[in-house]
């Protein structure tokens, strides 16, 4: 009985090894690797070309220079004398801003102010 058992074992092992493994289609590995590469593909986090601190500097410079010019040449303004001779040394060109021009500048300023607000709104709407 033991002998028969061994013989059956041996024969079955021989037969199954002779039949061998089933071979999947050639594209199976490619499909697996493609799906894996999708999974591992890292989406680079959004990095603006001009960093935030630079925008603050640009904004600050722009606003202060606008404010300075406005205070100097606006129709309603205080007498500008910063008390330093260095400021009087540089004679800035006299710019005359009409009322319309001032409104236009204010509107453009408002327009630029809307961009980050709208961007944040849209990100929240369609964001991931």
- Give the binding site for another protein (CB under 8 A): 3-4, 7-9, 11-13, 15-25, 28-29, 31-33, 35-37, 39-40
Q: Using an 8 Å Cβ cutoff, are 77 and 71 in contact?
A: yes
Q: How far apart are CA 62 and CA 113, in angstroms?
A: 13
In the complex, what is the shortest distance from the CB of residue 21 to another protein, in angstroms, rounded to a whole number? Answer: 4
In the complex, what is the shortest distance from the CB of residue 47 to another protein, in angstroms, rounded to a whole number? Answer: 21
Q: How far apart are CA 80 and CA 73, in angstroms?
A: 9
Q: How far apart are CA 47 and CA 94, in angstroms?
A: 40
In the complex, what is the shortest distance from the CB of residue 45 to another protein, in angstroms, rounded to a whole number? Answer: 17
Nearer to another protein, 39 or 44 (CB): 39
Q: How many other CB atoms are there within 10 angstroms of residue 23's CB atom?
A: 7
Contacts of 75 (CB under 8 A, 6+ apart): 99
Q: Using an 8 Å Cβ cutoff, are 67 and 88 in contact?
A: no
Nearer to another protein, 7 or 120 (CB): 7
Nearer to another protein, 9 or 123 (CB): 9
In the complex, what is the shortest distance from the CB of residue 101 to another protein, in angstroms, rounded to a whole number? Answer: 57
Nearer to another protein, 25 or 98 (CB): 25
């Amino acid at each position: 009985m033991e002998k028969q058992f061994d013989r059956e074992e041996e024969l079955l092992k021989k037969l199954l090894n002779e039949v061998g493994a089933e071979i999947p289609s050639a594209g199976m590995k490619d499909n697996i690797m493609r799906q894996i590469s999708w999974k591992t593909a890292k989406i680079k986090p959004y990095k603006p070309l001009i960093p935030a601190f630079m925008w603050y500097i640009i904004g600050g410079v722009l606003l202060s220079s606008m404010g300075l010019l406005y205070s100097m040449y606006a129709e309603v303004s205080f007498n500008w004398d910063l008390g330093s001779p260095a400021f009087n040394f540089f004679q800035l060109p006299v710019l005359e801003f009409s009322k319309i021009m001032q409104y236009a500048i204010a509107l453009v300023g408002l327009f630029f102010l809307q961009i980050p607000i709208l961007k944040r709104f849209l990100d929240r709407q369609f964001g991931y």
